[in-house]
Structure 1
Amino acid sequence: MRRFPCGSGAVRTLPGDISARETGARRYPCQVNPAELSTTIVDALSALVAQGAITLPDGVPAEVTVERPRQKGHGDYATNVALQLSKKAGTNPRAFGELLAAELLKADGISAVEVAGPGFLNISVEAGAQGQVAAVIVAAGASYGHTETLAGRKINVEFISANPTGPLHLGHTRWAVLGDAIGRVLSTAGAEVTREFYINDRGVQMNHFAASIEAAALGEPAPEDGYKGDYIADLARRIVQDEPAIVDLPADERRTAFRERGYALQLKEQQDQLDGFNTHFDVWFSELSLHDSGSVPETLQRLKDLGHVFEDGGALWMRTTDFGDDKDRVLIKSDGELTYFASDTAYYLNKRARGFDHCIYLLGADHHGYVGRLRAMAACVGDDPDQTLDVMIGQLVKILRGGEEFRLQKRKGDLVTLDDLVQEIGVDALRYSMVRYPADSPLALDIEQITKQSNDNPVYYVQYAHARTCRMRENAADLGMSLPDDFDPALLAHERDGDLLRALAEFPRVVASAAELREPHRIARYLEDTASVFNKWYDTKECRMLPQGDEPVTAANLARLVLVVATQTVFANGLGLLGVTAPERM
């Protein structure tokens, strides 16, 4: 017996396996998405090779590309496999396509295969086979969209990595969204993912931070090279309120105490900000711990043993130019001070020692030069950076109001914090608006536009489509409708049904592509396109889910209820991958 989840309420049980259900005398296999059709085509190619009809010297490919046609009337799916393989097979694309088309027509659920143009195959599937996608989605529920494309991969995603010397601000916001969304899609594609925040808690900035808090607590002017935001006075007040005697400590002890207390409070504030923004980290890694544990000296010794360091001018250098960097990098300055690059190298090796196959860095626009040096660093320690490292550079974001850049006057320097942005815009609107563009695209977002409750606002458009499916289910329940015990997928035969089914079937492929390319914006754009297809389906009278007036509930109504639940599932799953809520009412 197959159990079909019905949202957050009851569970209906359907007899038999709906993914391979008999409709009349015909068995409909689960040929409902490009991945499954790819498998069918590979099987057909293997059969042709076995029959001696074609010869493929390099063997049958493990998968082939299957896409939705751009033009209506060109079938449900299309593939260019005949164009790709015909030369290797020693024939022309059309002849190859004709052979493959005839073999594909033997597969259950495929109703027609047309060889078009120079050798494209346009494939049409029977309504029953296409309708299976709704049942598959409903049965899978929250797991629909999950794949095993990255199974066995252990990936570390490092993002934000701010100094614990102030609140998170606009400059961190984009990575807070994209890093979290990338982690989500990688996990959904089967990878074991760790989201990591690298705490830059070592260096002179921490001393300036401590001195600034201390000065504020003692009523003294802020140091010239210190931090001057209002939040410094807030930290000083909280620390003194909790420990009044701190101001009476000897100077050295007092400075250390303010540093420790300020660090703990500011880090906790960053963690709370991110939790409230629906961005969660598995590991908060301290830079200082690398040095306290002896990892940095061990790293330097390893580099010496590998022969990739040299001394010049009293400094110790890594010879990164041997691996494509534009210049060699200093590890220890002539005054004996370690550089940040020494810490970066030790940190990378720490990640690899923890078993990560792949390390992803998300860095700001001012870190463009880090791409070459980090890749060279990985090569210096014996890794292939193409296999173990990705460095993504994000572009700047501007927030506008009425065409003018959004600024606040309550902090010196017009610092706009993450909390300010959430208060002005909201978590969902801010996250969705940040994630729907590629990371390397400069971004200017207008507050009025991204908070507007209209179909012109993409986040509202998608969330409203989800809320509409919820309302439709409520209306169906009021009429006593529930998921059917005898679902006939062939009843989803209208052109608009097919459009929606094909859109829903694309979701796993889109998720896998977003994971492979580290581009979660693909999911946002997919959701917008699917919401458009759903709204057209909703406006089509022939596709009504609910009976009209005194009409009885028919099997077609119940079949479309399954389709609505499938659509609701895809919207909820897709929004969840972006860290955006799927509201039931709007």
Structure 2
Amino acid sequence: MTPEQLAEKILQALAALAADGTIAVEGGLPGELKVERPKNPEHGDYATNVAMQLGKRAGMNPRAFAELLAAKLQDDEAITEVSIAGPGFLNLRVAADAQGKIAQSIVDAGPAYGSTDALHGLAVNLEFISANPTGPLHLGHTRWAAVGDALARVLTAAGAKVTREFYINDRGNQMDKFGESLKAAAHGQPIPEDGYHGEYIGELAQRIVAEVPGILELPVDEQSVAFREAGYERQLKEQQDQLEHFRTKFDVWMSERSLHEQDGVGHAIEKLREQGHLYDADDALWMRTTDFTDDKDRVLIRTNGEPTYFASDAAYYVNKRERGFEVCMYLLGADHHGYVNRLKAIAACAGDDPEHNIEILIGQLVKILKGGEEMRLSKRAGTIVTLAELVEEGGVDPLRYTLCRYPVDSPLTLDIEEMTKQVSENPVYYVQYAHARLASILRNADELGIKLDEFEPGLLSHEREGDLLRALAEFPRIVATSAELREPHRVARYLEDTASAFHKFYDSCRVLPRGDEEVEPVHKARLTLVSATRTVLANGLDLLGVSAPERM
């Protein structure tokens, strides 16, 4: 029995008490309620404070209300015990037969288990990397690549319609400096002081010369643009390949340049004017963002007629909303904290609800240790640690899992050596090893010719079996909560707790028959529990973009 099924039984009991006049709750009965696992398992399998919530509204002492509800619930064969604690907490124990059925339902659901409709139909645009196509992706991008992709997976599992978006900063001075740097490198000249100095610039320049015939014979004033565009194309492809290798998918690669080429900025300005929050001053066009908590008004069009970067931000937001997204999420680095109020002000100035239509998550800095020393420099990029180097050092699975394991608003220090150790103290190894162990048990059962053709859920009555079943039943709630709070790290922590529950179960309960022992119904029941556990760990790892190995 899942917590949701038990909650439904409690609601049915409340409805029955109301129907026969035993209780009358002012404002009516709730449409839903939550039951939770008590901190102390000795108190029961599940607990609810519904009597404390409704007692006063029913004109009763909460404990007296709880006694009426407990008496009604004890008539249900799936509930073996109901006790009342304190001022009106209800503690419930579920029959082994009812609890054990969750194992079969998980096996039947397979990859779909854990998915919910908590965010059904919510259209979300999730922009979780914004980068210049002028160099390799770096450490900051790596954290967002892992967390953003995991968040997209969790939101999707909770029923949202998610579009993953990469915003290409392909307009402005940085692109011009990129072209000048490549041209200088191709001619063997010093890179401009404010240009790009990593070794990759020389390598990329040589590649362009080899792949673009005649580029060095172009007029000098045309070469910078030619190198800029050729470098842009190749550097963006490298970023895309690296992210694909890191198992990070994007549905849309949005070009900042395209917003201007298609007059997205002009269109956005017209729409914002209609809302009455733009004004002209000092030969420039301003948005009155101070009306909506920003610390100062923002310039959209400079005195020289050029749009600002803020104008691009405003146009991009309007573009997203006109593409049908109800919620626009931005995942930004710690150095972008000042963007929160101005982005919310854009939403408000566009006539939207800044508390609903736009969300900004700020991620804190990450440090990487190798050999006890912080990694600061790249072999190719010079001043940054790149995504490619991090993957080479740590591997896709350890890096993704570890980056997803912590709240994004917490600074993070990762040790490459600790992250890749194959020991139980390493969380990613611990969870993956549990999955591999489960897969091994099922292979052994198959080799013994054991078929899971009969399942008696009531045989799963051992304390450790109950603990594991209750852990598995929590998975859909964990997914929904992770999505609603935008916290995929909750999935990782849940997987670790569930892997621990499995290991304790396996140490206490013999799953396969020994030697010449006959295959008993209890063996098949426990194998069904093993199969269900494997399904949950695989589904959870997939939400983090981490593989579920069959062997380790």
Q: Normalising TM by the smaller chain, what interval?
A: over 0.9
Matched, 1:309 2:278: yes
1:168 counterpart SS class: coil
Identity level (%)? 64
Matched, 1:529 2:497: yes
Matched, 1:162 2:128: no
* One-letter amino acid matched to 1:518: R
Q: Of 286, 292, 297, which residue of structure 1 is paired with 2:255?
A: 286
Aligned mates of 2:408, 2:58 — CA distance in 1: 41
Is the contact made by 2:455 and 2:525 (CA closer than 8 Å) also made in structure 1?
Answer: yes
Distance change (3 Å), C-alpha of 1:382 and 1:409 = closer
1:371-386 matches, within 5 Å, as: 371-386=340-355
Is the contact made by 2:333 and 2:363 (CA closer than 8 Å) also made in structure 1?
Answer: yes
Deviation of 1:300 after TM superposition, in Å, equals 1.1
Q: Of 536, 539, 545, which residue of structure 2 is paired with 1:573?
A: 539
Deviation of 1:409 after TM superposition, in Å, equals 5.4
Q: Of 449, 452, 456, which residue of structure 2 is paired with 1:488?
A: 456
Structure 1: 5+ residue stretches without partners: 1-31
Is the contact made by 2:198 and 2:383 (CA closer than 8 Å) also made in structure 1?
Answer: no
1:230-269 matches, within 5 Å, as: 230-269=199-238
CA deviations on 1:462-509 (whole Å, 9 max, x unpaired) are: 00000000110111112111212x211001011111000000000000
Aligned mates of 1:129, 1:87 — CA distance in 2: 32
Matched, 1:56 2:22: no
Aligned mates of 2:30, 2:51 — CA distance in 1: 12
Matched, 1:325 2:294: yes
CA RMSD for the aligned pairs? 1.1
Q: Of 239, 243, 250, which residue of structure 2 is paired with 1:274?
A: 243
TM-score by length of 1: 0.93
1:123 counterpart SS class: strand
Equivalent residue for 1:21?
none
Matched, 1:389 2:370: no
* One-letter amino acid matched to 1:194: T
Matched, 1:143 2:112: yes
Equivalent residue for 1:439?
408
Q: Of 465, 468, 475, which residue of structure 1 is paired with 2:437?
A: 468
Q: Of 158, 165, 181, which residue of structure 2 is paired with 1:196?
A: 165
Aligned mates of 1:270, 1:412 — CA distance in 2: 13
Deviation of 1:412 after TM superposition, in Å, equals 5.8
Q: Of 56, 59, 67, which residue of structure 2 is paired with 1:90?
A: 59
1:57 counterpart SS class: coil
* One-letter amino acid matched to 2:527: L
2:28 counterpart SS class: coil
2:131 counterpart SS class: coil
Aligned mates of 2:378, 2:533 — CA distance in 1: 45
Matched, 1:342 2:308: no
Matched, 1:295 2:261: no
Is the contact made by 2:126 and 2:330 (CA closer than 8 Å) also made in structure 1?
Answer: yes
Deviation of 1:223 after TM superposition, in Å, equals 1.1
CA deviations on 1:95-150 (whole Å, 9 max, x unpaired) are: 11111112222334111111111111101110000000100000000000011111
Aligned mates of 2:271, 2:42 — CA distance in 1: 63
Equivalent residue for 2:482?
514
2:329 counterpart SS class: strand
Equivalent residue for 1:10?
none
2:129 counterpart SS class: coil
Aligned mates of 2:146, 2:371 — CA distance in 1: 24
TM-score by length of 2: 0.98
Distance change (3 Å), C-alpha of 1:409 and 1:343 = closer
Structure 2: 5+ residue stretches without partners: none
Equivalent residue for 1:501?
469
Deviation of 1:459 after TM superposition, in Å, equals 0.2
Equivalent residue for 1:585?
551
Deviation of 1:92 after TM superposition, in Å, equals 1.2
1:210 counterpart SS class: helix
Equivalent residue for 1:429?
398
